[in-house]
Structure 1
Amino acid sequence: MQILLILAVVGAAGFVLFSLARGLFYFSQGHRAAMDGTVEENQLMQNKMMMSRIKWQAITIILLVLIGVTAGGGS
C-alpha cells in the first residue's frame, strides 16, 4: 500500500513541477504578450497554471499525510 502511495506522491510532485514550469514560461512571455496584444490570454494561462500547481500541491500533501497515517498505524 505504501509503495503505491509513494509512487502517487512522486507523480503528483511531478505534476507540481510541470505546472510550475509552464506558469513560469507564461510569466516570462509577458512582455511578448504585451507587444502582441494577447495580455489577457497570457494572464489567464498564468492563473490557470497557478491554480493547477496549488491543486497538485494539495494532493501531494494529502498523500504524504496518508503515508504518515499508514506508517504510524502499523505499530
Structure 2
Amino acid sequence: MTTFLVILLVAAMIATVVALVRGIVTFLQERTEEVKGNGPSAGALKSNRMMQMRIFFQAAAIMIVVLILVLAKGT
C-alpha cells in the first residue's frame, strides 16, 4: 500500500511541475498580446487553467504525503 502511495506521490509531483512549466511558457508567449489591450487571449486563459491544475496537483501531493505519514505512524 505504501509503495503505491509513493508512486502516486511521485506522479502528482511530476504533474505539478509539468503544469507549472506549461503555464509559465504559455504566460510568457501570450503576455505581449495581452499588453495590447485586446482582452484575455486564448493563451492567457490556457495559462490560467494550467496554474489552476498546478494548484490541484499540489493539493493532491500534500494529501498523499499526509496519508503516507498517517499510515507510517500507525505501524
TM class, shorter-length: 0.7 to 0.9
Q: Distance in 1 between matches of 2:18 and 2:40?
A: 22
Task: Give 1:72 shift.
Answer: 0.1
Q: Does 1:27 align with 2:27?
A: yes
* Long gaps (5+) in structure 2: none
Aligned to 1:5: 5
Counterpart of 2:66 in structure 1 is 65
Root-mean-square deviation over aligned CA pairs? 1.6
TM-score by length of 1: 0.87
Give the deviation of 1:28 after TM superposition.
1.1
Per the TM alignment, residue 38 of structure 1 is displaced from its structure 2 partner at its CA by: 8.2
TM-score (norm: length of structure 2): 0.87
After the TM superposition, list the runs of 4 or more consecutive aligned residues in structure 1 that deviate by more than 4 angstroms: none
Question: Between the two proteins, what is the percent identity of the paired residues?
Answer: 33
CA distance in 2, matches of 1:39, 1:59: 29
